[in-house]
Amino acid sequence: MRVTRKNGPDTTRTGAAARAASATCEKVLCHFGAGFAGLMLAGPAVAETTLSQIEHGAYVARAAGCMSCHGEDLAGGYQVETPMGTIVASNISPSHDYGIGAYSRDDLADVLRRGVSPNRRLYPAMPYASYRGMSDTDIDDLYVWLRDQDPVEQAPDEETDLPFPFNIRFGVIAWNWLYLEDRDLPVADDPILSRGAYLVNHLGHCGECHTPRNDLFAMQDDQYLAGEVIDGWLAPNLTPDPLSGIGAWSARDIIEYLRIGTAGDIVQAAGPMADFVQHGTSHLTEDDLAAIAAYLQIIPAIDTRDQDIPVLVPMDQREAPEHRFNQIREEMTAALARDDLSEPEHLFLDHCASCHGVTGQGQSQAYYPPLVQNAALRREDAGNLLLVLAHGVPAGKLYRAPAMPGFADALSHDEIAMLANYTRTTFGGRQDSDLTAADVARAISPDEEMSDTLRSLQVAAWVGLIGGIGLLVFVPMLWWWLARRRGLKRQEG
Binding site for heme c, by residue number, is: 66, 69-70, 206, 209-210, 352, 355-356
Cα distance between residue 341 and residue 485, in whole Å: 92
Nearest to 270 by CA among 168, 381, 388, 154: 388
Calculated CA dihedral for residues 187, 191, 193, 198, nearest 10 degrees? 60
Residue 336 — left, alpha, or beta (φ > 0 → left; ψ -120 to 50 → alpha)?
alpha
Quote the CA–CA distance of 455 and 472 in Å, as a whole number: 26
Q: Which residues are annotated as a binding site?
A: 66, 69-70, 206, 209-210, 352, 355-356
Those residues whose C-beta lies under 8 Å from the C-beta of residue 318, and which sit 6 or more positions away, are 264, 266, 373
DSSP calls for 456-480: HHHHHHHHHHHHHHHHHHHHHHHHH
Q: What are the CA-CA distances from residue 69 to residues 87, 148, 249 (Å)?
A: 11, 19, 28
- The kind and range of the H/E element at 47 are helix 44-63
What CA–CA distance (Å, rounded) separates 193 from 199? 10
Nearest to 335 by CA among 353, 319, 321, 355: 353
Residues 344 and 419 sit within 8 Å (Cβ to Cβ)? yes
Contact between 378 and 311 under an 8 Å Cβ cutoff? The reply is: yes
